[in-house]
Amino acid sequence: MNNMNIDFSKWGWKENPFVLKIDPKLFVGYNEQVKAVLDHIKNKHKIALITGKTGAGKSTFLKWLEANYDASKLYVSKPPKKPEDFVNLFTDIFGFSIWERILRKKPSLYTLPEYINKKLKENHLVFLVDEAHETNKEVLEWLRVLTDQIDNVSLVIAGMPNLEQKIKSELETFDQRIITRISLTSLDKNEVKQLVRKRIEDVGGEGIKPFTEGAIEKIYERTGGFPREVLKFCDRLVKSALEKNLDVIDEKLIEEHKEIELPKVRLEEPVVTFMPKPPTEEQFRNLPFKQKIILELLSKKDWLTPRAIVEELELKNYKSKEHAIRSVNNILKRLMLEGYVQREARGKAYMYALTPKVKTLFVES
């Protein structure tokens, strides 16, 4: 069901409110984390680190800061590939005086802090760097050097959880400069309701309609409160309601939504085919060893086949690789039924990933 061919007017919507897009005005939740980063900037501390799994809302958080904080700001969606690129990054923002143009005086990487200090004067710069886990050690080290040498700057850097471990193990000096550490895990139940309401009202709807209060609670349970998973699940529920000509999205529809019919076209976003009730932390801690190591692998690499899992874990206590694959396949089926993993069909193969709630358990552990 293509969004372009769907009529959402029965609910008063101009368009689908649950399309995955980064829109700072639709940012909700994370009140403690917002307060922490605003205090960091207000006090002109140097480095704040924001970490969170894919879909936790890091980019939306940074874009919200860019849109709402009253100061000089520079948002970078990805860090430069090499340190020298910082020069163009800042000269594109601050430009050159007439005198600098006459002399063709462009800063080098080593004179860049002097250039920035001169341009900033007494102003405070909030430097927002997203997707920092994708960059290399050298670029991160220069980020630290620039932050040290620019008089009036607060660096807010965001990335996947492995970014913090990378900094701790490879960049001790950088790690020591971090004043504020913020972890984005998931929204609580009230924040999930707020997210759904804000999205619906943004396209002309009223409150959480057509969702019932009970449906919101079930959506929270199924998604673990991960913002991206909430939007994806709501999108599928809306399309299902329209196909069935339902006016209300309630708990009954969600219960029917455990198995999703695969579309005839390939989608960029994974199509989750099973999402049972999530496990508790105690159940998670008491899992057998083989189940735990498979879940640990899936916490680092999403959407793997049983064969890929066998190859990644180098499982050797089996008669053959095929025996190992069959064993892993059976373990994955059991984990799926117990709410630890979700499954997607691609061609003739099934691929597995952690459910959102279990991702949260790994972030918290």
Q: What is the CATH number of the domain that holds 349?
A: 1.10.10.10
Q: Does residue 176 share a domain with residue 145?
A: yes
pLDDT grade for 5, boundaries at 50, 70 and 90: low
Residue ending a domain, among 184, 209, 226, is 184
* pTM for the model: 0.66
Is 265 among the domain residues? no
Two tokens, residue 24: 């700072």
What pLDDT, on the 0 to 100 scale, is given for residue 200? Answer: 95
pLDDT tens track for 205-238: 999 999 999 999 999 888 888 888 899 899 989 9
Number of compact structural domains in the chain: 3
Q: Is 147 found in the same domain as 67? A: yes
Identify any residues that bridge with 345 across adjacent strands, giving them in sequence order. Answer: 350
Would residue 266 count as lying in a domain? no
Question: Measured between alpha carbons, how far is 145 from 113 in angstroms, rounded to an integer?
Answer: 9
For residue 128, pLDDT over 60 is answered with yes
Q: Would you say residue 354 lies in a domain?
A: yes
C-alpha distances (whole Å) from 300 to each of 29, 161, 276, 304, 355 are 26, 10, 22, 11, 13
271 located within any domain: no
What does the pLDDT read at residue 346?
62
When comparing pLDDT for 277 and 54, which is higher? 54
Distance of CA 322 to the CA centre of its chain: 35
Are residues 62 and 178 located together in one domain of the fold?
yes
Domain check: are 211 and 235 in the same one? Answer: yes
Query: Do 91 and 105 belong to one domain?
Result: yes
Average pLDDT score over residue span 260-282: 45
For residues 90 and 169, membership in a common domain is answered with yes
Does 269 score more than 50 pLDDT? no
Write out pLDDT tens, residues 79-127.
888 999 998 888 888 777 776 666 677 888 999 999 889 888 888 989 9
Cα–Cα distance for residue pair 64/45, rounded to 1 Å: 19
Q: Are 174 and 250 members of one domain? A: no
- Residue 294: give the domain boundaries: 281-364
β 349-354/341-346 pair status: antiparallel
Q: Put residue 78 in one of left, alpha, beta given phi > 0 → left and psi -120 to 50 → alpha.
A: beta
